[in-house]
Structure formats: C-alpha cells, structure tokens
Structure 1
Amino acid sequence: MALKVLIPTWWKWVDLWDITKYLNKALVKIGKKPSISYIIESYPSDTEFIITTWYYGSQVKDFLKIVYPENNITVVDVDVYDWPGSSILYSMSKAKPYLQSPFIYHACDTVVLDKIDFKDSNWIGWFKWEWSSNYAWFNVTWKEVDKIYDKWIIDPDYIHIWLVKINDFENFWNIVDSLLKNNNETLNDISVINSMIRNWSGFSLNVFEKWYDTGNVDWLNKARREIHDSFHILDKLEESIYIYDDFVVKFFYDKSLSEKRVERARLLKWLVPNIEWHENNFFRYEFAEWKLYSRTANPQNFKDFFIWSKENLWKESNEVSQEEFKKVCHNFYHKKSIERIDKFLNNHNLVDESNIINWEHVPSIKELFEKVDFDWLCSSKQTFFHWDYILDNILQTENWFSLLDWRQDFGWLLQSWDMYYDLSKLNHNLTVNHDLVNADLFTIEKNWNSVNLDINRRENLVQCQNSLHKMIIENWFDLKKVKILTAIIWLNMSPLHHHPFDKFLFYFWKLNLWRAINENN
C-alpha cells in the first residue's frame, strides 16, 4: 500500500506579514522552489498526498496541476475557515475519507532535510533549538512521549515540529470525531495525540537535525540563506518564480498578467523559452542550461549581442497609429514619472528644490522637466520589445540568445513599444545592477542641500557600456535620448526601493538628467 501524507495548506498565516497577502503559505519560495515542493519531493514518487486548502486554494490546485501532473494528489476544500466551528482539527477531519490507513501529517511550513522514517509505528518529529518558547513541546519517558504542552516554556528538551506519523489511524479518527462535537476552535493535532497517549497509543521520537519553520519570517530568511539550492532574485509580493530541473514556473497574483505574458510569448516566438503549460495565475516554460549574459558579457561579445537584438527583437511593428503611440509613450514617460516624483517627495517629506550634486548645481525637478522635449522623446518608431532588457534577463549560448522575464504589455499594447526604452534599460543595467545593490557598492552623503554620490562599477561593464554607446552612434540612433530615458528609469525606480538606495537613485537621476540635457549630440 502506498504511503499517505496529509499536508494542510488551508489557513492564512499572519506571522509572514505581507508575504502571504497575495500567496498561499505553501507557495512561499525558499530556495528555488516553494515549501510544498520540498515536502512533496522528500517522499517516494508513489506517495499519495491529501492536501487540504481554503485560503487562495485555487493557487494551490493550479500549482500542483502544473508542477506535479503525474503525482497522486487529492485536494480537499475546507468549508469553514474563520468563523465558529473552524479549527486545525476540523480542517484535518475533512481529509478523513481519504486517510483510512496509516498516514503522515506534515505541516506545509515544516521543511526538513533529513530522511523521513516510514516505520510502522506512531512517532512525533522533534528538533532541539535554544530559542524555542514559541513552539509546542513535550516530555519524554523511556523514549516515548508523555504529553505535548503548549508554547511559552523556556528551553524545553523537545519541540513539536508538526511532522507526525499516525499508525493507529482508527483510534486517531475516533478521537477527532469525539473532540469535534465540542465545537472548540482551539483544537489541533496536539489534542488528539495527548488523548491517544492517555489511551495507550504510544508515540516514539523521530529526531530531525535540519528543520526550518517557513511560517515564521526569521526562520524563512534562515532557510533562504542555508538551503543549498538557493538563488538570488529580487522578491516581489505579487509575483514569484520557481525553478525545477526541466522547467521554470512563473506566478502572478493578477491572472491577467499571466495571460498576457503567455500571449506575448506567442508573439515573440523563439526569442523566449517555449511555454509548456498555462493555468490561470501560473505558466511553465522550458528550462535552458544556458548562461546568464550578466555573467558572460564582455566588450568583445557585446557587439554580437547588439546586432542580434537589432535584427531579431527590435523589428518594426505598427500596432496603432503613430499619433496614438506617441500618447502611450507620453503617459509612460511623463505622467507616470510625475506620479513617482510626488510619491518619493511625499514619502520623504521633501520639497522640489535645486541641489548641489557632486559639486554641480542641478535645478529643481520642475525646471529639469521644462528643459526636456517630451514630444521629441516620444517620437520613436514602433518595434517589438522586451521592456525589462537587462543582462540578468538574457541567456547566452555559443552563438544565440534567449530572453527571460519579458514584459506582458506596454500600456495596453502587446506588440509595439519604443526600442529606445530597451536600449535605456541596457544602459541603466550596465551602470546600476543587482550585484552592485546587494553588495552596497554605492554611497550617498547629504548635508543640507549638498549631495555627494558615488558608485563602484565593474570595469567589464564600464567597457560594455562604452561599446553600447559606440554602437548606438554607429547605427544612427540617438544617444542623448537613451541617456535621458535612462535617467527617467532611475527616477521611476527611486520610490520603490529600500533606504538608502532610494535616495541614491533619486539624486542620481537628477544629476544624470541634468548632464544629458546639457550634452551635445
């Protein structure tokens, strides 16, 4: 008989703050994958999984369908969540019809790296940790559990990690049925286990050397630091990415964004990985064993990349009239920028004023924008586009490139955008990138109205940027337009980032816009 595992994912978890505002807790990313993947993949392939869900339950269902289509998984909806009658035990009881044999109860925020024991007996998983007063704990006599206690005990010997083998399943469900008659909202598996112990159903110990509670922010961050397959990507609350051996899965809280990304992939064809599967908020595409261009770019191959982009990506595409296209560009470059400026100034209680930045007098934002010819800035040809054209979103083979994380639209346009925005994104990324920000390789010193900025850039990327500028000029593109749009990109980034990087970006864009305005073509 196949092993059965119960994984509850039904509740909303406040300990993760905004992280679970848009996402079911079981889908919170740890390393390359969410916690539920680490759980499922720790069991044999023929395991039968019973998963209870309610909060963002459709996300769990779609994720399992797209990632584990061959696994034996049954999803059970919990009909009572946050009103009288709800409890952890009640949610477990909804899985009773599917668990009429020995099973393991594995909480969706319990990740263990040790091998799980499938022996034919009742056991409780435990972990020893010095800061454990927030966890249920238990006493042990002769290697068997006496009783599980609630939280707030300093330095107990054993803490309950919500990983339990129920061998006496009939006894377990009889006690569950009896306890639920009291309609107690605090009931959980501890209530049942203690009752089973009193009725002579013993529980042995199963020690785990590596355990992470991913339902706690501090422990989640610890898991992300320590789990060996971790990778760095700037996390966003409303979207996520999961990487598996043969495919990649993207999640968007807004289902329309997922749908538009899939549609744009169809338009971009072989420039992006092949979309294998799409389910509402998720889509899955092929994983390519290629190298990130951010790790291989150099002045020698950058020219090939530029030519490839020009010939394959930035092809003419007249989706709307040129007049309508100019309006879309103006809304993005001007209107959106004004909104972001107001947001930054309000967030920091600042007024629009001139500054001395790196010993240069830089006018107020109002004066700067009056000097920008937005009609000229928005007068570009319509082409196909990527939108977030940075080196980390590009894969390189020996003589080819593939594009990742393409934008779903521009305004409401799917096919047409301004090639200059892609060029400006490249220019931005060769100046400011994730590696630089993560290593704090920037400084800002502000004394009243005087600001000093500095940034430590890799020489290789400086040379790539020189190559980019040279090819822009050689191909009769407008370098001044690229530099102005690059400054506008930094402007729009500034209110969205952490302190002090947000202030660095704010004064950095002012300085660079001023320099670009005054620069001759």
Structure 2
Amino acid sequence: MIVLITTSGLGSRLGDLTSFLNKSIIRIGDKCPLDYIFDNYKNMSDVKFIITIGYLGDIVKQYVNIAYGNKLNITFVEVDNYEDSGSSLGYSLLKAKKYVNEPFFFHCCDAIILEKIDINMNTNNNILFGYTYNDSSHYSSLNISNGIVCLINEKGCDNYDYIYTGLAYIYNYKFFWEKLYQLYNDDPLKSNLSDIHAFNLMLKDGINFKFIHLKQYYDMGNMKSYNEIIQALPCNYNILYKKNESIIFHKDKVIKYFYDENINKNKLKRIKYIGENLVPKIFSKSKNYHSMELIDSMPLSEIYEKGLIYKLLVWADKNLWVKNKNIDNFENICYNFYYTKTWKRIKKYFNDKRNIDYNIINNVNVGSIDNLLKKINFKKLCKDPPTNYHGDFILDNILLRKNKEFCLIDWRQDFGGDIERGDKYYDLAKLQHNIYFNHSNINKNLFNIKIIDENRCEVDMKCNFFLINQMIDFDKFIIENNIDKKKINILNGLIWINMAPLHNYPLSNFLFNLGKYMLINNI
C-alpha cells in the first residue's frame, strides 16, 4: 500500500516559521507533522511512503533518516521546481507519478490526524476525508449527499458541508493521473493546480468519491491554524522557540536540529572535552541533526529538593570546570566573547525599531547603553584562567539521572570560537540568570516592561520563591571558593543584553533593559 506525501512547497503562509525549516518537520507538541503521518499508517501492512522533497529537501531527508533509519520503506522524489513559475502542488504530484502504479493514499504534509484512518483496504472506492469547520477561507470544501461527494469547491466558498483535509484515498489512480496530466498540459503555469482539480474532472466523468468525516483533524498550513494546534497539542517540555533550531521528542530519543551545520558539528566535537559520561548517549548524526538518549528525568528547574543547587555546583567544580593549562590567546577570546559579541548583538537588537534603549529604568538613571558599557572594565573580566565549560549552564539544561548523577544537555557549541576552553564564570552567570529568569514563567509571559515615556520604563518578572531561596546556597558556594560575585553579576547583565535580539518583541525589549538595570547596580 502506497502513501504519497508532498513536502516540496515553501510553506510561505507560515511566515518566519519556515525560514529555516520545511513545514513538514516543524515541531507540533513533541513531534512533527511527518511523525504524526507515519503513525497513522503504522498498523497497516507493507506500507511504502513516497515523499516529494524540494524546499529544504535535504533537511527533510536527514530528519527522516535520523528519526527512523531503515524502519520505514521510503522513496524520496526530488521536485526540480517548487517556487518558480510553473510550480504547484499538481506539478509536485506529477513528479511522483512513476512511483505510484496502484491505489494510494494522498496525505498533505500539513494534515495532522489523531484518529485511526479506518478503511477496508480491499475497497474499490475513492474516498475524501473532511472535517467540520466554520471557515473555508484557507480550505477547499466539500458538498456531500448520502455519504457521497457531489461537489468540491475552491477555497473561500460559503456554501459547503465540510472542509477537505488534504487526505484522500485514490482507488482509480489511472484516471487521477490522466486528469491531472490533462490539466497540467492545458495550463503548465497554473500555480494553484492541485489534487482537487483532478478530483473534480473525475466527478464530471461519473467517478464517485465516498466521504469520511474526521473528528480529530488539525491543520498547520497557515498561521491561524498553527496557533490553534499549538494550543491543542502543547509540548510536554519547556522549550524556548528559536527560528533556526528545533527539537523533537520520540519515545526513546531526542532529535536536535541546527540550520547552521557548523553549530551541530562543534556541539558534537565538544562532547570529547565535556566528557561522554556527563552527557546523554549520542545515537546518530548528520550535517544538521543529531539524536541522543532521552533521559527519564525532569530538568533541575522542576525538581524541588533543598540543597540541590549547592550539590550541582560542587559536582561541576569537580567534574566539569577542569582547569585548562593552555592560556594562549585566552584573554583575547574572552574579550571577543564578552565585548565584541555584545556590540554585535546590540546592533542586531536595534534592527527592530520597536526596541528602545531607555535611560531611566525603575527610577534609576542608567544612561545609554554606550555610556553604560564604557564603565565596565572588560579587560578585568577576561583575566581568569580557562577551564572546561558547558556554555549554557542553566537548570533547564541539567537533568538528574535515576542514580542521582547529574547529566548535561544543550551545551554551547563554542566559547568565542574555542571548543576546548571557556570561562567558568560564564557558566556561573548563566546559572544565576536562570534562577531569576525561569523559562516556564517566561513562556507564560510572566514578565513586564511598563513604558512610562520615551526615556523611562519599569521592568519586572515573576521569580519562583523556591529557586530564589537557592541563591543562599549559590552564594555559599561563591564565598567558599573565593569567587568574584561582582563579575558574575556583570556577566549576568551582559547575558540578558545578548539574549535580547534572539527573541521577539516585547521580550527583546524587556531583556535588554533588564540587563542594563542589572549592570548599573554592579559597576
């Protein structure tokens, strides 16, 4: 049995979501649309998947190989034209024609169905699957009479019974290809040529389509439906959205994606220096992906155990922050990381004209970012010797195994370009930042920037009482080990400023000015 899936299109209706990812592999809940589709057919025998690829096609292919290896029977079909004149869903379908010489399912890659696709595989009927929805502006629609499709409408039709979900079973496959090929020959440049146009010609020739009403269907082909589905299918993990990265959770593994293949490569290289026993087991890797063991644990941010942060710091001091004797050029590396990178991020921050550099924050005269950074002794910040490091040492990136050993995830790919050496003060500042700035709270928008006027604002956020109490143990470790708390606080402020342009407004505006407020109180 064949299932034809088209992933070749741009997914332009999803805006920035598809700048670095094909829409078929955007995370929805814990998984991506392709995962849901494969699940729909896992109980059917001898399934062959034909997948068209075009836009970011290699990344789609990498994902399927990393996630499933040789568990599925898959043929990829490259579509040469997926964005220029003459490209269309119909064109992509025709590219797969030679691989589909029997009755088949056509399953749009943005159609997520959470119920059993229940048909008799010996049926000699064509079937269209529909859904009850009160807006057809983004959908072709169906008119039904006695369980039979009598009319298929273009998008935006007012008089309809159900929307078409993008799932069809095509028994009369020869007629389908004949009609689609005829339509393409009549107008090769028709940009909206699709499956429904061939279906309509089949209807006119007296070929019937039965109708099946789906109860659990979700679409993620446009921003409205995407926002609906992420509310209906939330992720079970607290993940901060990043446009050029992604993470997918399977039953026994985690799959990490990086648009920049050098980031992926360096993260994997760094395992050697962090220590293989301190991180999850890596299962497989490709240019843009790697998969790793899924640890059965909550992140430390969700574990309520008094003294746990102190135990973590003692453990990290012994196992992670191992001194590196090679000090060559390390001060310059730190300077580029703390000073040069900060200015690059500041310029990026101001690319969004809504972001403001407020001079008075919480009634404190902070001044401009230029004058504020001039007050920091960056050379002094760069004087500490190098150590091994994590690079994103936050509670969300540290797990506790069943044997009570800590496990590190989501480490930084480099420190100013160096994959072996870093500054443990940066790790400490990252941890302090996360005690205050809890990802779960931020995901719930539990932060506030109140704009008083063009020069003044007030910033505040919800902090967790239990975590704030852990600052007692944090400071205890700092004092016991003669660590410079002021440097940690300054780096904490710089971290917030550097984070700002990586997030959308208003969080960007909040972080930038929160960072300034942190700095003025520590210089």
Same fold (TM over 0.5): yes
Instruction: Report what 1:171 is aligned to.
Output: 175
Instruction: Report what 1:396 is aligned to.
Output: 400
Stretch deviating more after TM superposition (284-293 or 192-201): 192-201
Instruction: Report what 1:410 is aligned to.
Output: 415
Q: Deviations over 1:257-297 (max 9, x none)?
A: 11111111233212111111111111111111122111115
CA contact (8 A) 1:122 1:165 kept: yes
Instruction: Report what 1:81 is aligned to.
Output: 82
Q: CA deviation at 1:400?
A: 0.6
CA contact (8 A) 2:324 2:388 kept: yes
Q: Does 1:94 align with 2:89?
A: no
C-alpha distance in 1, partners of 2:67/2:188?
A: 36
TM-score by length of 2: 0.92
Stretch deviating more after TM superposition (120-129 or 499-508): 499-508
Stretch deviating more after TM superposition (180-189 or 14-23): 180-189
Q: Deviations over 1:428-476 (max 9, x none)?
A: 1111121222333333334344443333321111111221111011111
AA aligned to 1:76 is V
| Change in 2 beyond 3 A, CA 1:300/1:155 | farther
Instruction: Report what 1:31 is aligned to.
Output: 29
| Change in 2 beyond 3 A, CA 1:146/1:450 | closer
| Change in 2 beyond 3 A, CA 1:170/1:350 | closer
| Change in 2 beyond 3 A, CA 1:155/1:418 | farther
AA aligned to 1:374 is F
Q: Does 1:302 align with 2:309?
A: yes
| Change in 2 beyond 3 A, CA 1:230/1:42 | farther
Stretch deviating more after TM superposition (411-420 or 438-447): 438-447
Q: CA deviation at 1:198?
A: 2.3
| Change in 2 beyond 3 A, CA 1:351/1:11 | closer
Select the residue among 177, 180, 185 that pairs with 2:184. Answer: 180
AA aligned to 1:307 is V
C-alpha distance in 1, partners of 2:368/2:179?
A: 72
Instruction: Report what 2:72 is aligned to.
Output: 71
State the secondary structure of the residue aligned to 1:382: coil
| Change in 2 beyond 3 A, CA 1:206/1:232 | farther
Unpaired stretches in structure 2, ≥5 consecutive residues: none
CA contact (8 A) 2:280 2:292 kept: yes
TM-score by length of 1: 0.93
State the secondary structure of the residue aligned to 1:148: strand
Q: Deviations over 1:393-442 (max 9, x none)?
A: 11113421111111111222111011100000001111112122233333
C-alpha distance in 1, partners of 2:340/2:24?
A: 39
AA aligned to 2:110 is D
Instruction: Report what 2:239 is aligned to.
Output: 233
| Change in 2 beyond 3 A, CA 1:208/1:451 | same
Q: Does 1:327 align with 2:332?
A: yes
Alignment map for 1:145-160 (pairs within 5 Å): 145-154=149-158, 156-160=160-164
Instruction: Report what 2:437 is aligned to.
Output: 432
Q: Does 1:161 align with 2:172?
A: no
Instruction: Report what 2:286 is aligned to.
Output: 279
Q: Deviations over 1:122-154 (max 9, x none)?
A: 100001111223311122233211221212212
Instruction: Report what 1:104 is aligned to.
Output: 105
Q: Does 1:219 align with 2:225?
A: yes
CA contact (8 A) 1:319 1:415 kept: no
Instruction: Report what 1:313 is aligned to.
Output: 320
Stretch deviating more after TM superposition (29-38 or 257-266): 257-266
Q: Deviations over 1:319-375 (max 9, x none)?
A: 550xx11111111211222333344456458887853x4344434444433332211
Q: Does 1:455 align with 2:456?
A: no
C-alpha distance in 2, partners of 1:47/1:351?
A: 55
Instruction: Report what 1:52 is aligned to.
Output: 52
AA aligned to 2:475 is H
C-alpha distance in 2, partners of 1:217/1:349?
A: 22
Q: Deviations over 1:170-223 (max 9, x none)?
A: 222233333333243333211221222222321100110121111111111211
State the secondary structure of the residue aligned to 1:123: strand
AA aligned to 1:399 is K
Q: CA deviation at 1:385?
A: 0.9
Unpaired stretches in structure 1, ≥5 consecutive residues: none
Stretch deviating more after TM superposition (294-303 or 274-283): 294-303
AA aligned to 1:42 is N
| Change in 2 beyond 3 A, CA 1:91/1:495 | closer
CA contact (8 A) 1:365 1:510 kept: yes
CA contact (8 A) 2:327 2:385 kept: no
Instruction: Report what 2:272 is aligned to.
Output: 266
Stretch deviating more after TM superposition (505-514 or 113-122): 505-514
Instruction: Report what 2:376 is aligned to.
Output: 372
| Change in 2 beyond 3 A, CA 1:271/1:104 | same
State the secondary structure of the residue aligned to 1:23: coil
AA aligned to 1:208 is L
CA contact (8 A) 1:62 1:282 kept: yes
Instruction: Report what 2:115 is aligned to.
Output: 114
Q: Deviations over 1:7-49 (max 9, x none)?
A: 0111112100111111111111111111111111111254211
CA contact (8 A) 1:52 1:91 kept: yes
| Change in 2 beyond 3 A, CA 1:475/1:206 | same
Instruction: Report what 1:197 is aligned to.
Output: 203
Q: CA deviation at 1:230?
A: 4.8
Select the residue among 17, 20, 37 that pairs with 2:18. Answer: 20
Q: CA deviation at 1:86?
A: 3.3
CA contact (8 A) 1:7 1:50 kept: yes
State the secondary structure of the residue aligned to 1:444: strand
